[in-house]
Structure 1
Amino acid sequence: MFSTYIEVALLCHPVLAFLTVQNPKMHIKHSNLQYFIFSFLSLLVLRYACSAYVFPSEISIALCATNDQPNPIAHIYPGNATGTLNGTIAVIPISLELARQMIPPQYGILEHAYRALLPSFPKGMYPAVVQALHDHEVQAFGYKIDDFSRTGIEFPFVDMLNDNQTSFKWAPSMLMTAGHDIALNGAMDYGTNTFPATFDPGCDAYRAVPNSKKPGTTYFSARSSEAGAASLTTVFSSAEEEVFPLEFFKNFTNQPTFADGKTCDNMIRLYNTSVTTAPNQIQSVKGTVRANLFPFPGEKEWKNVYGLRLDTAFIENNYLPCENFRGYAGHE
């Protein structure tokens, strides 16, 4: 806008000088003529300076900063893919009958495995899990990729090998940061239904909800770039009660993960590093999850969902034969 004003002044300046010289009542002195020439040259210099400088009002700058803690284990495992996962993980109780309808029929459900960890879990129910996460400082061999966000609803305690023993986690769908080709392609290579998406917040695992009546309320949202294809939103507040023990979360977050069953992802979540222990801490939360995501038919909403808000370091081993995990009981 300012540069436009200067251009108008430059156009009008010679006209004003010409009219001044031509008007017999306005004959100018030599010093005044020098003034016109000097002022014209000054405006010309200012005009070219404006073309090199973009004023703040004329540009939109997308600032993106994260509150995530640095990767504390990259130097310990330089040859492995490591990073941190900050966000919220929570349990969505659904009927065992519905879980059986959605999980591929060739795979069993290890009900005895999750009941060993959750003896009081309601009869006829199954613990689906939602993870809303921000991957930070993911790197290997000194190469670091950009941060990205992801979320989805997963199905743990799946008997993929039909050995009635080894628990796997089926992750059929995922929303991931649009434009992050490395992350998107990595998920698609597992056969995951992957939806490029926009996230709110864009560079963090969640954001505070101002003026909320409930303490520690945070918000997270993901919407697919393709309108209406997929979405997931969470609102969680601090909770005093611990409905599900930490050992349960450690168990299912460390189960080998698969989608189409051709290969498995070995994500080892560590709960004893500096990003998880004091002064950082694990927080119990309670809230609402709303999702439009395969394999659930249509949009669903779950209230009074309990979980944890936390940051963990991880080591990841990709595209491994699922058979390698027969008898695997997790890293921790």
Structure 2
Amino acid sequence: MTAREVGLPAEVPAEGLPESVTIWEVGPRDGLQNEQAVVPVEVKLELIDRLAGAGLTTIEATSFVHPRWVPQLADAEALLAGLTRRDGVRYPVLVPNERGLDRALAAGVTHIAIFASATETFARRNLNRSLDEQFAMFEPVVGRAVAEGLDVRGYVSMCFGDPWEGRVDPSAVVDVGRRLLDMGCSQLSLGDTIGVATPGQVDALIDAFTAAGTPVSALAVHFHDTYGQALANTLAALRRGVSTVDSSAGGLGGCPYAESATGNLATEDLVWMLDGLGVSTGVDLDALATASAWLADTLGRPSPSRVVRALRG
């Protein structure tokens, strides 16, 4: 069954929302990094091409993290070498350190992302650095990347709750985010890494950033759906003016360093909601659902995305 056969969502525009939203697709990187069985590079390449064919214009392709830490992404060079790049599509990669940047530059990458923590405990567990020490690691990466003409995004993890430290104070997140922007990052992606946020927390965090002088245009959101709040939290962010939303095709993903982190917001579920609100994404929902259904079949299990299951059974 297709979206056209069941009927696309009724379009009822709401006031106070962006006219269009950029979807930052993280499926090939964040979505697959937790898979226990290694996914062949040929499958990853086909997934990326299918996603681009569905109209996604920002597709995070891979990460230059050390293979010992995330074996699933050990094929980063091979993947980028085999990538069929489409006009108008960005293929950013995650870069953890200067060695990762060296590899990214050698591969001809033009957009990178770094991954910071808003909490002390997660910084130590994920980066093996203290909260302050992480910036010493990022400064040369961002400085060199900007000097080379690369665009740099800053992920901030644990923005709402941390499994070891509990609720996270918005001021702590703002402090980390402002340091990344001052360093040279062009955008911050505010991550609900374990999926505990509610819309009121989203409002409070975005308000805290704007009160500190950060334009909403510099903010993106990245929600996990652990407690079923990802779409509600996204809508709250949109009402605050955020117009870049991270999501993962088929709802795949998690975080290998936080066991309570389940899947990302499914790109199909996001597109269904945005289509219904009259917010433009440029994404063909049928083609996207087909791509995710194909991936689910390849991985040998049902798609976590509600919309994929509804459209493809």
TM-score, normalising length: structure 2 = 0.27
Q: Which has the higher contact order (CA 8 A, sep 6+)?
A: 2
TM-score, normalising length: structure 1 = 0.26
Higher relative strand content? 1
